[in-house]
A and B are shown apart, each in its own frame.
Chain A
């Protein structure tokens, strides 16, 4: 079953613009992770944010977490053509080691 729902399902922006994707989830979490998947490839881990953190940065990525609203956002600044991919959020619940993935946002960067 899917824990996370990403919004929007698809997003197209011009190169250089910022891209924002949102993730909502249903139950209490231990941490939330974001992954990228290029077409025909496996998923690549981008960033992990713990339930007691509110914001985290990694290069051009900025992730926020609002546990009261059960939501997270991923911001990619100064987008590049190479950022074209699907982006998934995944949640980890207390007491187990498995990740439950959301439905994904397909991001297209237009050169």
Chain B
């Protein structure tokens, strides 16, 4: 398995533009997580899915953020409109049994810069 695949690796966009981050989890993993990492706030959980259904989106900072998982092999995180404070590294992770049973497998992340 190629692991968790995220795209793009780097994204530079202007304030106000829409940004879409993509993630392909490991086949057979039932859980998918989106995290954001910044120097100031560390790793923050944004949202997670179980069997393609959003379970907890309490970490999504604002209505500008939305996430979807239309099928078991694909998820998107969208920011519209983007702002400079959204600049961060966004990680997608997947897990077979969730945190209660397993560790997570992380993707390489998308480094987002909003100018």
- Contacting B at CB under 8 A, from A22-42, are 30-31, 33, 35, 41-42
Check A42 against B45 for contact (C-beta < 8 Å): no
B interface: dominant SS: strand
- Cβ of A68: which chain B residues have Cβ within 8 Å of it? none
Q: Which of A3-24 contact B (CB under 8 A)?
A: none
Residue A70 at the B interface, CB < 8 A?
no
A73-111 contacts to B, CB under 8 A, are: 88, 90, 92, 94, 96-104
Q: Number of contacting residues on B, CB 8 A?
A: 25
B107 within 8 A of A: yes
Within 8 A of A (CB), among B53-84: 55-56
Tell whether B8 is near chain A: CB-to-CB under 8 Å.
Answer: no
Contact in complex: B43, A31 (CB < 8 Å): no
Once the chains are docked, how many angstroms separate the CA of A48 from the CA of B96? 14
Given contacts A42-B108, A48-B102, A48-B103, contact A97 B42 (CB under 8 A): no
In contact, A43 and B55 (Cβ under 8 angstroms) = no
CB distance from B79 to the nearest CB of A (A): 20
Between A30, A44, A97, the greatest number of chain B beta carbons within 10 A of the residue's beta carbon is seen for A97
> Could you tell me the distance between the alpha carbons of A1 and B33 in the complex, rounded to whole angstroms?
16
A42-B91 contact, Cβ under 8 Å, with A88-B43, A96-B56: yes
Closest 9 CB pairs of A and B: A97-B98, A45-B103, A42-B106, A92-B99, A101-B43, A43-B106, A99-B99, A42-B108, A97-B99
Q: Can you list 29 A-B pairs, Cβ within 8 angstroms, ordered by A?
A: A2-B42, A30-B99, A31-B100, A33-B103, A35-B106, A42-B91, A42-B93, A42-B107, A43-B43, A45-B103, A45-B104, A45-B105, A48-B102, A48-B103, A88-B43, A92-B99, A94-B100, A96-B99, A97-B50, A97-B95, A98-B48, A98-B98, A98-B99, A99-B45, A99-B99, A99-B104, A101-B35, A101-B42, A102-B42
